[in-house]
A and B are shown apart, each in its own frame.
Chain A
Amino acid sequence: MDSTLPSGPAVRIEGLDKRYGSFHALRKVNLSVERGERIVICGPSGSGKSTLIRCINRLEEHEGGRITVLGTELNDDVGNIDGIRREVGMVFQHFNLFPHMTVLENCMIAPMIVRKRPRAEAETTARRFLAKVRIPEQAMKFPGQLSGGQQQRVAIARALCMQPQIMLFDEPTSALDPEMIAEVLDVMVTLAAEGMTMICVTHEMGFARRVADRVIFMDGGEIVEEAPPEEFFTSSRNERTRQFLSQVLGH
């Protein structure tokens, strides 16, 4: 990794507060993520987990508290926001691939127009990451011609082409048919093994057990519990956590 990077945690969140009208989405959330750390965030719907990671790259604006990403504070400074977004990749529940571009163009556009890389270099990078997510042969197809699992892997490749330092995953497997979940999780496991800093909102508890350094349980806009996976799954202290776990692991 680049030696000129500022030291300190990858993401530091202090006293984060967010409301939608009268709904209190996040209440004084504190979270620190080290470089290379893999975090899994889970919790019932409406608990604020998606809002939390969408605040990290400013898809949501926070109202109180401080967010520092890679040493830069997120505030109204557009330069800061753009700088952070270049270094933070994101994968969405509904893929959000650009339907009017081929798979290859989806992967090339941001490196070319945001990072100003030459076309040839962007294409080489794009093909390398498409090979990494195991769909190099789909490069010239349009997103609409691919299965959900393939689309999500393209979305991961698209984010990786910007060569980000942090990856955010917002329920990446929730919109997939069951038989396609594994192919996406496999890619995420490989990525984790390579030392990528990852923050994943997911209900895939097997994935959490296998790769997470810490599992975070949120409810009602608060972090209720955070622990390493073995401890989290076997001896969670909080009643709400145990209830949630019995629901997602029960079947």
Chain B
Amino acid sequence: MEMVVVAPPAPSRLEDLKRRFFATPLQALLSLISLTIMAFIVWKLLDWAVFSAVFTTTGGPEACQAAAGACWSVIAARWRIILFGLYPFEEQWRSALACVSVVVMTVLSCIPAFWTGRRIALIWGAGTGLYYVLMKGGVLGLPYVGEEAWGGLALTLFIFVTTCLIGFPLAICLALLRRSDLPWISRTTGLIIDGVRSLPLISILFTFAVVLPFALPQWLQGDKLYRVILGSALFFSAYQAEIVRGGMQGVPAGQEEAAMALGMSYWQRIGRIVLPQAMRNALPATINQFVISFKETSLVVIVGFFEILASGNAAYGTGEWRFAYVEVYAFIAFIYFIFVFSLSRYGAYLERRMAVGER
């Protein structure tokens, strides 16, 4: 007997919608109510943000305040403070270029084709070097600008990127030390990790910025900015070390044994066999940690740095634009969103890429 298989016709989009949302009268009613509420919210938002909003600075703050919608004029008038903080006005193009250099560096180092030791080192060296020269000046005819005047987006990006650049390798070192066969090494490392994790980030930043100078000789102190970055990197690495260690625990012992049996040295086993698999296991948690660290850069305001959020405060804080704080915060939220969302999407891309070859 011959079997004839007839596939049911694929439901059209409309039928599918009908089946999902309008199956019974009650369901149809609920669907309609939800739809109305959503439409209302979207309309209100659009009306506020676009249709009734003021975009130009011509009328000044008064005309803007009188408008029914958002007052985007505050951004047009104040964007330079938000993005560049207290950086000298005529030199702000340098701050903008410095942002670009950090972003380009980050994007390049996310591309698999650049993942060799030499290329990554070159990119990071060039990116941070360029940032430093542009921001600080004092060479090539660029006027000198001290770290205390750095601010806004340029500072936020710099703190985030350097925290990760220092913190990530440190995290891997800590994770490896914690896995050591020698109990005094693994216990001490465990104590350091747990110790740092038990402290709030603010207290660590405060210690590194304010307390450390009393304990260190003059020549070891460096600028407050770099001490704060070190503190933030230490905090990052304590959390990330545990994430990396968790990833390593997910790699079967047989993997390292097979590498040993092939004669690979410790660093070859770690670098080629264990870490690549551990990082694949640890990827979701790692992206999470990066996202948290990006947003935690706003805490440096506690030790007197004007990163983007604090610069935003300053942008509306001067009398005439005091009413427009919602718009300023919406703008800053949008900037955070761009960076953090890109980071998440990149994480998703990496997960897809690394899933290759998994059963």
A70-107 at interface with B (beta carbon < 8 Å)? 82, 85-86, 88-90, 92, 94, 96-102
**A169, chain B: closest CB distance, angstroms:** 12
**A13, chain B: closest CB distance, angstroms:** 18
B359:A89 contact, CB within 8 angstroms: no
Judge whether B276 is part of the interface by a CB distance below 8 angstroms: yes
A142:B357 contact, CB within 8 angstroms: yes
A109 to B263, CA, bound (A): 11
Which of B5-13, B149-157, B264-272 lies at the interface? B264-272
A3 to B259, CA, bound (A): 29
For B246-265 the 0/1 string (1 means CB < 8 A from A) is: 00000010110111111111
**A160, chain B: closest CB distance, angstroms:** 11
For B261-299 the 0/1 string (1 means CB < 8 A from A) is: 111110010001100110010000000000000000000
**B319, chain A: closest CB distance, angstroms:** 59
Question: Which residue of the partner chain A has the closest CB to B357?
Answer: A142
Report which of A109, A144, A159 forms a contact with B357, defined as CB distance below 8 A: A144
Judge whether A198 is part of the interface by a CB distance below 8 angstroms: no
Q: A100-B277, A100-B280, A109-B272 are in contact. Are A92 and B358 (CB under 8 A)?
A: no
Contacts of A173 in B (CB 8 A): none
B277:A99 contact, CB within 8 angstroms: yes
Could you give 24 example pairs across A and B, Cβ below 8 Å?
A57-B260, A59-B260, A59-B261, A85-B261, A86-B263, A90-B261, A92-B257, A92-B258, A92-B261, A94-B252, A96-B252, A96-B254, A96-B255, A96-B257, A98-B255, A99-B357, A100-B276, A101-B357, A110-B264, A114-B264, A144-B359, A159-B261, A159-B262, A162-B263
Number of interface residues of B (CB under 8 A): 23
A46 to B262, CA, bound (A): 26
B358:A110 contact, CB within 8 angstroms: no
Judge whether B14 is part of the interface by a CB distance below 8 angstroms: no
Contacts of A100 in B (CB 8 A): 276-277, 280, 354, 357
Q: A59-B257, A98-B258 are in contact. Are A82 and B357 (CB under 8 A)?
A: no
Report the 10 A-B pairs with minimum CB-CB distance, sorted nearest first: A142-B357, A96-B258, A110-B262, A144-B359, A90-B261, A96-B254, A85-B263, A86-B263, A114-B263, A100-B276
A57 to B300, CA, bound (A): 53
Judge whether B356 is part of the interface by a CB distance below 8 angstroms: yes
B268:A113 contact, CB within 8 angstroms: yes
12 new A-B contacts at CB < 8 Å, known A82-B263, A98-B255 = A58-B260, A85-B261, A85-B263, A92-B261, A98-B277, A99-B358, A100-B277, A100-B354, A114-B263, A114-B264, A142-B358, A144-B358
Judge whether A145 is part of the interface by a CB distance below 8 angstroms: yes
Contacts of B277 in A (CB 8 A): 98-100
Report which of B261, B265, B273, B356 forms a contact with A98, defined as CB distance below 8 A: B273
Question: Which residue of the partner chain B has the closest CB to A99?
Answer: B357
Number of interface residues of A (CB under 8 A): 30
A113:B264 contact, CB within 8 angstroms: yes
Judge whether A143 is part of the interface by a CB distance below 8 angstroms: yes
Contacts of B359 in A (CB 8 A): 144-145
A217-242 at interface with B (beta carbon < 8 Å)? none
A114:B273 contact, CB within 8 angstroms: no
A113 to B262, CA, bound (A): 10
**A207, chain B: closest CB distance, angstroms:** 21
**B311, chain A: closest CB distance, angstroms:** 43
Q: A98-B255, A98-B273, A100-B357 are in contact. Are A114 and B261 (CB under 8 A)?
A: no
A162-198 at interface with B (beta carbon < 8 Å)? 162
Contacts of A214 in B (CB 8 A): none
Judge whether A153 is part of the interface by a CB distance below 8 angstroms: no
**A167, chain B: closest CB distance, angstroms:** 11
A145 to B358, CA, bound (A): 8
Judge whether A127 is part of the interface by a CB distance below 8 angstroms: no
**A186, chain B: closest CB distance, angstroms:** 23
**B158, chain A: closest CB distance, angstroms:** 33
Judge whether A12 is part of the interface by a CB distance below 8 angstroms: no
Contacts of B252 in A (CB 8 A): 94, 96
Contacts of A162 in B (CB 8 A): 262-263
Judge whether A49 is part of the interface by a CB distance below 8 angstroms: no
**A144, chain B: closest CB distance, angstroms:** 4
A89 to B261, CA, bound (A): 7
Contacts of B262 in A (CB 8 A): 85, 109-110, 114, 158-159, 162
A98 to B256, CA, bound (A): 10
B221-267 at interface with A (beta carbon < 8 Å)? 252, 254-255, 257-265
Contacts of A114 in B (CB 8 A): 262-264, 268
**A200, chain B: closest CB distance, angstroms:** 15
Q: Which of B260, B263, B354 has the most CB of A within 10 A?
A: B263
A89 to B258, CA, bound (A): 10
Contacts of A89 in B (CB 8 A): 261
B358:A113 contact, CB within 8 angstroms: no
Contacts of B357 in A (CB 8 A): 99-102, 142-145
B303-359 at interface with A (beta carbon < 8 Å)? 354, 356-359
For A104-122 the 0/1 string (1 means CB < 8 A from B) is: 0000011001100000000
Q: Which of A92, A102, A110, A143 has the most CB of B within 10 A?
A: A110
A82 to B266, CA, bound (A): 10
Question: Which residue of the partner chain A has the closest CB to B268?
Answer: A113
Contacts of A109 in B (CB 8 A): 262, 272
